Amino acid sequence: MATPLALTLGEPAGIGPDVAIAAWRRRHELDLPPFYLLGDRDCIQARAKLLGIDLPIADATPESTAAAFADAFPVVSTGHNVTAQPGRPDASSAPAAITSIRQAVADVEAGRASAVVTNPIAKSVLYRAGFLHPGHTEFLAELAARNGKTPMPVMLLWSPTLAVVPVTIHVSLRDAIEQLTSHLITATARVVVADMKTRFGIRRPRLAVSGLNPHAGEDGTMGDEEQTIIAQAITVLRNEGIDVTGPLPADTMFHPAARAKYDCAICMYHDQALIPIKTIAFDDGVNVTLGLPFIRTSPDHGTAFGIAGTGTANPSSLIAALKLAARMAAAQPS
């Protein structure tokens, strides 16, 4: 039987349980790959009841998931009881979320699962509990560290119509400009190319690199970062045999004809990458962490406390994350 996907609980007071249940209920209609949720059975049962759903639950193991998946929602216990109510995180939230992530990574590394799919977390809740990482991505990189070496994680936002990578991520625009270097651009692009080959099955990935300034600097009249930083990185990448174009004006990179010319857009800062993909693919965008020794995908939305438990959460992004994780696992060389 197929190795299942490990789905984390995320913030239990958020919409993670809602969309997980909704995705499982559409498993036959959408031909979803087998997955199990790492969490608390009672929490999931209570959420299903609140949603008015008679949900059959299997007390599962990763090994029993494939057989159980057709008839019952597989839940693998993490040993943490959840007392948080929809929209109201409490002291049980952080340990439940963190343990679920740790266990998912351990399952993938042990070969019990083929990929990690993470439901959204509430970073403010984790910070109050002493969580020391900026977010999911950095925590996963630490869990993947071996022999004192931590891999370089790269955030990819993927949809069937557009894939984007921001070189600088969750920092102010002022700090993003200060952090931008030729080395950071080339290191990011190398990770993208490697994973697109091995996990997306693209033999020769085509990259489009944006400029930083309006109109890519207009030959230096609106800033010289294109000439002093970005163009140097592109030269290095081309000398390594990578198919890359740029620096391109960001305002003309994302219309359909432009998108047809590349497999991934490398952007200089967070909003430059995320605004176009969230405009084009708001409901079915997937957050992917590249550069890790295991596959990790996630829905591209937050915990949505305001609608947790109401039955209105859209599972489309989680469904896309599950499908993409299975696709990436199948594309990996055996």
What is the tens place of the pLDDT at every residue in 38-81? 999 999 999 999 999 999 999 999 999 999 999 999 999 999 99
Q: Which two tokens stand for residue 176?
A: 């993003």
Any idea which residue has 């029993």 for tokens?
64
- 243-248 vs 264-267, strand pairing mode: unpaired
Q: Which residues, 6+ apart, have CB-to-CB distance to 325 below 8 Å? A: 5, 33, 114, 115, 116, 117, 295, 296, 297
Length of the chain, in residues: 334
Q: CA-to-CA distance for 38 and 7, rounded, in angstroms?
A: 6
pLDDT for residue 9 = 97
Residue matched to tokens 């992530």: 101
**Bridge partners, residue 88, by sequence:** 85
- Segment among 39-43, 124-128, 146-150, 330-334 with least mean pLDDT: 330-334
User: Which position has the higher pLDDT, 135 or 334?
Assistant: 135
pLDDT reported for residue 64: 97
CA dist list (Å): 316 to 22, 24, 133: 9, 12, 28
Q: What is the mean pLDDT of residues 232-247?
A: 98
Q: What is the pTM of this model?
A: 0.93
- Predicted pLDDT of residue 284: 87
- Cβ neighbours of residue 194 under 8 Å, at least 6 residues apart? 290, 291
Query: pLDDT at residue 334 above 70?
Result: no
| % of the chain beyond a pLDDT of 70 | 99
pLDDT of residue 1: 56
Q: How confident is the model at residue 113 (pLDDT cuts 50, 70, 90)?
A: very high
- State yes or no: pLDDT of 317 exceeds 60: yes
How far apart are alpha carbons 105 and 240 in whole angstroms? Answer: 33
> For 1-5, 15-19, 177-181, 232-236, which range has the lowest pLDDT when averaged over its residues?
1-5
Cβ distance 154 to 144 under 8 Å? no
Which is it for the CA torsion 40, 88, 281, 188, positive or negative?
Answer: negative
Place 329 in a pLDDT band, splitting at 50, 70 and 90: very high
Q: The dihedral of CA 133, 135, 138, 140: what is its sign? A: positive
Mean pLDDT confidence for 109-128? 94
pLDDT, average across residues 222-235: 94
Q: Which pLDDT score is estimated for 86? A: 96
Which domains are assigned to the chain?
1-152+293-334 (3.40.718.10), 161-280 (3.40.718.10)
Range list of β-strands (E), the chain: 5-8, 35-39, 57-59, 73-77, 116-117, 154-158, 163-166, 206-210, 243-248, 264-267, 286-290, 296-299
Q: Supply the pLDDT for residue 107.
A: 97
The packing angle between helices 16-25 and 316-331, to 10°, is 70
The arithmetic mean of pLDDT across residues 232-245, rounded, is: 98
Mean pLDDT of the chain: 94
